[in-house]
Structure 1
Amino acid sequence: MNHNYTRLFDCIAPDRIGDKEVLLAGKKNKQYQPLSGLQVIDSVHALANGLIRLGLQQLEGTEAREKVGIISNSRPEWIITDLAVQKIGGILVPLYPNTNLDEIIYIFNEAEVKYCFVHDKNMYKKLLSVREQIPGLQYIYTYAEIEDAPHWSVLHQTPDAAELAEIQRRSDAIEEEEVTTIIYTSGTTGKPKGVMLTHKNIVSNVKNTEEAINGIGIEDKKSLSFLPLNHIFEKTVTYIYLFNRYSVYYAESMETIAENLKEVQPALFVTVPRLLEKVYEKIMNTGSALTGVKRKLFFWAVELGDQYDTRNRSAWYNFQLSIANKLIFDKWRAALGGKVKAIVVGGAACPPKLARLFSAAQIPIMEGYGLTESSPVIAVNRYEEENRMFRTVGPAITDIEIRIAEDGEILCKGDNVMHGYYKNPEETANVIVDGWLHTGDIGTMIEGRFLKITDRKKELFKNSGGKYIAPQPIENKLKESRFIEQVMAVGANEKYVGALIVPNFEHLQKWMLLNGMNFTTNAAAVKEEAVLKHYKAILEKFNKEFSAIEQVKKFSLLEKEWTVEEGTMTPKLSLKRKVIVEKYKEQIDDIYRR
């Protein structure tokens, strides 16, 4: 396709998307309301004009330029706001809808956010409750229609010829090196850092990642979007969609994804592993409820899928797999809308078991890797089998250099590397050295081109014998058990590895009933002697696959799942290890006292 574009908002040039019948679509009154290419263009210009009339100026320099916040779920309004702010010289500062108030106050004050858009009444009230602590915040608008709150539509003011010329003048003056957004990373420790990304950063990533998407050969270009748009992964993929003329439909919520998949029937979507795990759990629950021949066929197909490889499949295996796809896996595809050609996975390590199973079911998992600081994609497994390898995040994308440092840290260089951390030159200098972004991840290259992530540099811990332990591979393996919902390996400065385990209580309850035990509460279940023996047996089975120093010797079962709301998970569903260690100090101490 034509790569003659340099700014993100170039995706809505009339000659690019003017004839597109459905460009964006969100749910209203339980029906998808499509917006054509021309409607999106008109809406962007009307909002841009309203913001100019309100007083948004085009100023020189990142710190001087006016900041616009968004605290909203993903929806067409989000993208329209992003494009309008870009075109008139503002900088977008997006936050997760579940960001706690202390972080909102800190981020909005540091970034000097003047305007803000929120999605609903609850967030509007929360922001009003702390408004006095954010002196620079002057205007708050809502996407939902709320009594006594200014609706964003009041800013949609159709520009006259002179005003349209002013919007054009402003957008023409914007250079690719200018910062377009500041995305704050919550991180697992410390204060949030504002990642400054320029048009060039994100546009280069769009251009260099397109080949992975276009390699799929999709004719009916529909996608379903449900990850938060303030996460750079979903945002960059959205611009890949827009530059490549996809129709982007937005899920109503995380709870309605299954229903929305069937409605939209997308060819492609992106997700994080945790959501893919939940899809897998639902499928396995359905299979477990079957009886007789149907049950046997289901688990035969799953066992066959467990053996799937992108290389060296025998003719007999392929024959069996074709039968499994007709009898069993066809229903898996139907549950995802029936037309999914591939699923792009990122944000955390994807369990290899899931990648194998879905790929066997003719739904290739294209696992990738990147950081907010790299806009984000560094490497991704491609659609073609020869460019996909399980347990890796694939080859580097075009024009990205990858280097493995002496200590195993992954470094990358390219136009995608961030401009720096906002108002934090010291931390920027620590992370970008001679143009190389230090990712903080440990990895290695397989076959000279497939990048394999082994752990986070900061998450490695030493046991009392001075040996380094990488917790993530241990945790990912243990989560293959249907009885384990969440797990965190511990053992810094200790003789052996221990684990905090959150059971999958749905499966545990069924197991207890089958074994003649009453299930009353989670708290009671995790103390049952028979349950503890059951989990000990599960760990002993997995320990055979670990080296001596990686084996989990003791564990503690927890009664409550870790969540974003209670502060034990980041918004992208990564463990906040430091917080968990502090919160469950007593349980960890008990592991090493026994």
Structure 2
Amino acid sequence: MRDFSLPPLVEPMRAGGLADSVYDRAEREPGFAQLARRDGPGDEWTTVTASAFRDEVLALAKGLLADGVRFGDRVAVMARTRYEWTLFGYALWSIGAQVVPVYPTSSPEQVRWILSDARVVAIVVEHEDHAMTVGAVCDAAPSLQRIWQLDTGCIRHLVEQGREVPDDLVDGHRRAVTPRTVATVTYTSGTTGRPKGCVITHANLAAECDILFAGWSDILAEPGERPSILAFLPLSHVYGLMVQVFCIRCGVLLGHQPDITPTELLPALASFRPTFVFAVPYVFEKIFRKARQVAVEAGKGDLFDRAADVAVRYAEAVERRDLGEGSGPGAGLRASHAFFDRLVYRKLRAVLGGRVRYAVSGGSTLRRELGLVFAGAGVTVYDGYGLTETTAAVTGQPLGRVRYGTVGRPLPGHAVHIARDGEIWVRGDVVFAGYLDDPEATGAVLRDGWFATGDVGCLDDEGYLVITGRKKDIIITSGGKSVAPQVLEERVRAHPLVSQCLVVGDNRPYVAALITLDPEALEHWSRLNDENPSDPRGALRNEELCAEIQRAVSMANNAVSRAESIRAFRILPAEFSMEQGLVTPSLKMRRAAIVKMYAAEIEELYTS
């Protein structure tokens, strides 16, 4: 199958903009609990009503006008995922300004490029370090006139500055916003070159959120529970930004968690107790690996592994039944599943706060086996696919008909086309308006209403999409064999010890790989094998560890032909990091940068 589409579920946005939902809900339901916030880790969550949030947004919008921000101006926000980010976003949209997200981990060169390319007039930063970064590069951004710093009370100062501005002035600006007005210029991650500014309208974001709510609202919470979501993905990424808008627009209680590391995120999930989770595969992998590690340390590793196996078999049986291909789990499997639910699965669900039964994964494809484990443990993960240019998801798993290992079918009202070379093209209301001031790049990807994603994949007979890689990532060996690295990389990464895997082999006689290990998993392995946990480099020389990684590589090779298999690999002493410029803030590998940095190690793979 080369084409698949679904009829629309919702009407496109006809008038107004995203900020209207804040004012409209405050008018209809002033006491509605719209957000929950806390001052720091361990503090109690306090609710913010719709009317209180509207008042804060309005007061800040007046301050922005008083300080010179005008309709159509671009204002950057460089901060972690926190309440103030959302407050600034809606205040800016209230006066028709455009939000330009900047990752708080961005390098000075990245900040310089975004501020100059977008001609930003002002920027919100979180603290002094961010302010110094901006100050060091502002010479390249002559349009930049203001830097506001959150930890020095910039919101309070702006609100005070705007006290004399009449409310009607903000209302006038807000009413001038139309669906086609630009809401945000969000930059791509830059995995294949310099980041490009994606022009995303109010209608794009509204379509994304309205479609998801119309099609999947029934799984946001159990009957009788109020839906709530803890936003921990970067709001600087279109996925995180969409989650924020989804909650405010659709009346879902929204909390913020700025740190995504397991030591900070897991306690936040336990205290906030969301009913639904939007995450990336990294989060689900970390949760699973941490749960298994705890079980092994308690002497219950075998029990955990048996429980995971039962979860996979149970979820596969349910999958076949839901797709009309089987009768569901048999009596024996149901009994085993009930047994492990009491001993293992309940604890795994508790990590997410105890109330989550459904979740969404995006950013990259969730491994089929991991999706089955979570489903069998009582948390069905709906995998989707999208890009910055598609305002987050453009495909998703249909309700009650999940096909694990795929990224679902096109969102209602959208279409997917597989070009002759295997490239995925998509069409619909979530597709962006183009790249900022770059008609040549825009024309290269927007073709008669279709967006050429640059990804490669296929559609099955039911219209489910399978992603097989990026066009630019395809490796061609010196023997002429074309290899899609993603399949191998994902299978190697399935091993509990492995953190990252980069497959190489362009113009080489065979395929090889650079592999990094998960620091926590390596420390755990070192303790169990009488190695010094504080000497990870020493552990890398351990023959048993190398043999364990060889087994992971051999298992991955079973999925491909011999000509495509990994013949050699190198375990690196540290993970690829954002600080080195080797991964994007959304944790995607920057292949060219990695190949350049590790050129000597790659050469050894072919000369040793």
TM-score category by the smaller chain? over 0.9
Of 235, 238, 254, which aligns to 1:232?
238
Change (3 A) 1:290 1:70: same
Asked if residue 330 in structure 1 is aligned to residue 337 in structure 2, the reply is no
How many angstroms apart in 2 are the aligned matches of 1:151 and 1:249? 22
Using the TM superposition, name which of 213-222 and 557-566 deviates more. 213-222
Instruction: Report the AA paired with residue 196 of structure 1.
Output: V
Q: CA RMSD in A?
A: 2.2
- 2:220/2:227 contact within 8 Å kept: no
- 1:394/1:450 contact within 8 Å kept: yes
Using the TM superposition, name which of 165-174 and 518-527 deviates more. 518-527
Asked if residue 221 in structure 1 is aligned to residue 227 in structure 2, the reply is yes
Asked if residue 264 in structure 1 is aligned to residue 267 in structure 2, the reply is no
Of 297, 303, 306, which aligns to 1:297?
303
The TM-score with structure 2 as length reference comes to 0.91
- Deviation digits for residues 89-130 of structure 1, max 9, x if unmatched? 211111110011111111101211111111223212322333
The equivalent residue for 1:353 is 369
Once the two structures are TM-superposed, the CA of residue 155 in structure 1 deviates from its matched residue by 1.1
- 2:518/2:575 contact within 8 Å kept: no
The equivalent residue for 1:52 is 65
Q: What does residue range 541-552 of structure 1 map to in structure 2 within 5 Å?
A: 541-552=555-566
How many angstroms apart in 1 are the aligned matches of 2:156 and 2:571? 50
The equivalent residue for 2:420 is 406
Change (3 A) 1:517 1:247: closer
The equivalent residue for 2:5 is none
Of 344, 368, 381, which aligns to 2:384?
368
- Deviation digits for residues 516-566 of structure 1, max 9, x if unmatched? 655663333323444434432332243233322222111011001111111
The equivalent residue for 1:24 is 35
Once the two structures are TM-superposed, the CA of residue 2 in structure 1 deviates from its matched residue by 9.4
The equivalent residue for 1:126 is 133
Q: How many residues get paired? A: 580
- 2:292/2:304 contact within 8 Å kept: no
- 1:368/1:379 contact within 8 Å kept: yes
The equivalent residue for 1:343 is 359
| Structure 1, gaps ≥5 residues long | 59-64
Using the TM superposition, name which of 121-130 and 571-580 deviates more. 121-130
Q: What does residue range 458-477 of structure 1 map to in structure 2 within 5 Å?
A: 458-477=472-491
Change (3 A) 1:157 1:176: farther
Once the two structures are TM-superposed, the CA of residue 20 in structure 1 deviates from its matched residue by 4.4
How many angstroms apart in 2 are the aligned matches of 1:172 and 1:226? 31
Change (3 A) 1:515 1:68: closer
SS of the residue corresponding to residue 416 of structure 1 reads: coil
Once the two structures are TM-superposed, the CA of residue 185 in structure 1 deviates from its matched residue by 1.0
The equivalent residue for 2:52 is 39
Change (3 A) 1:2 1:183: closer
Asked if residue 378 in structure 1 is aligned to residue 394 in structure 2, the reply is yes
Using the TM superposition, name which of 135-144 and 415-424 deviates more. 135-144
- 2:60/2:162 contact within 8 Å kept: no
- 1:26/1:33 contact within 8 Å kept: yes
Once the two structures are TM-superposed, the CA of residue 160 in structure 1 deviates from its matched residue by 7.3
Change (3 A) 1:383 1:364: farther
Instruction: Report the AA paired with residue 536 of structure 2.
Output: N
Q: What does residue range 415-494 of structure 1 map to in structure 2 within 5 Å?
A: 415-494=429-508
Once the two structures are TM-superposed, the CA of residue 207 in structure 1 deviates from its matched residue by 1.6
The equivalent residue for 2:93 is 86
Structure with the bigger RCO (C-alpha within 8 Å, sep 6+) is 2
The equivalent residue for 1:153 is 156
How many angstroms apart in 2 are the aligned matches of 1:328 and 1:40? 40
SS of the residue corresponding to residue 348 of structure 1 reads: coil
- Deviation digits for residues 51-108 of structure 1, max 9, x if unmatched? 11112223xxxxxx31111001111211121111112121111111001111111110
Of 196, 201, 204, which aligns to 1:198?
201
| Structure 2, gaps ≥5 residues long | 1-8, 321-325
- Deviation digits for residues 183-231 of structure 1, max 9, x if unmatched? 0113212211000011111111122222343131523211111001121
- 1:49/1:157 contact within 8 Å kept: no
How many angstroms apart in 2 are the aligned matches of 1:550 and 1:360? 33
- Deviation digits for residues 398-431 of structure 1, max 9, x if unmatched? 1111111111111011121111101111000001
Change (3 A) 1:132 1:161: closer
Once the two structures are TM-superposed, the CA of residue 382 in structure 1 deviates from its matched residue by 3.6
- 1:44/1:84 contact within 8 Å kept: yes
Asked if residue 14 in structure 1 is aligned to residue 24 in structure 2, the reply is yes
How many angstroms apart in 2 are the aligned matches of 1:348 and 1:507? 22
SS of the residue corresponding to residue 498 of structure 1 reads: strand
Of 204, 210, 235, which aligns to 1:207?
210
How many angstroms apart in 2 are the aligned matches of 1:504 and 1:217? 32
Change (3 A) 1:518 1:8: closer
Using the TM superposition, name which of 294-303 and 475-484 deviates more. 294-303
Of 144, 149, 152, which aligns to 1:142?
149
Once the two structures are TM-superposed, the CA of residue 573 in structure 1 deviates from its matched residue by 0.2
The equivalent residue for 1:563 is 577
The equivalent residue for 1:61 is none
- 2:124/2:149 contact within 8 Å kept: yes
How many angstroms apart in 1 are the aligned matches of 2:448 and 2:499? 42
- 1:364/1:383 contact within 8 Å kept: no
The equivalent residue for 1:253 is 259
How many angstroms apart in 2 are the aligned matches of 1:323 and 1:5? 52
How many angstroms apart in 1 are the aligned matches of 2:483 and 2:540? 27
How many angstroms apart in 2 are the aligned matches of 1:69 and 1:131? 13
- 1:117/1:152 contact within 8 Å kept: no
How many angstroms apart in 2 are the aligned matches of 1:216 and 1:565? 38
How many angstroms apart in 2 are the aligned matches of 1:162 and 1:278? 49
Once the two structures are TM-superposed, the CA of residue 157 in structure 1 deviates from its matched residue by 4.5
The equivalent residue for 1:314 is 329
Asked if residue 499 in structure 1 is aligned to residue 510 in structure 2, the reply is no
- 1:46/1:158 contact within 8 Å kept: no
- 2:66/2:161 contact within 8 Å kept: no
Once the two structures are TM-superposed, the CA of residue 257 in structure 1 deviates from its matched residue by 0.9
How many angstroms apart in 1 are the aligned matches of 2:521 and 2:513? 20
The TM-score with structure 1 as length reference comes to 0.93
How many angstroms apart in 2 are the aligned matches of 1:480 and 1:359? 17
Once the two structures are TM-superposed, the CA of residue 491 in structure 1 deviates from its matched residue by 0.9
Once the two structures are TM-superposed, the CA of residue 134 in structure 1 deviates from its matched residue by 2.8
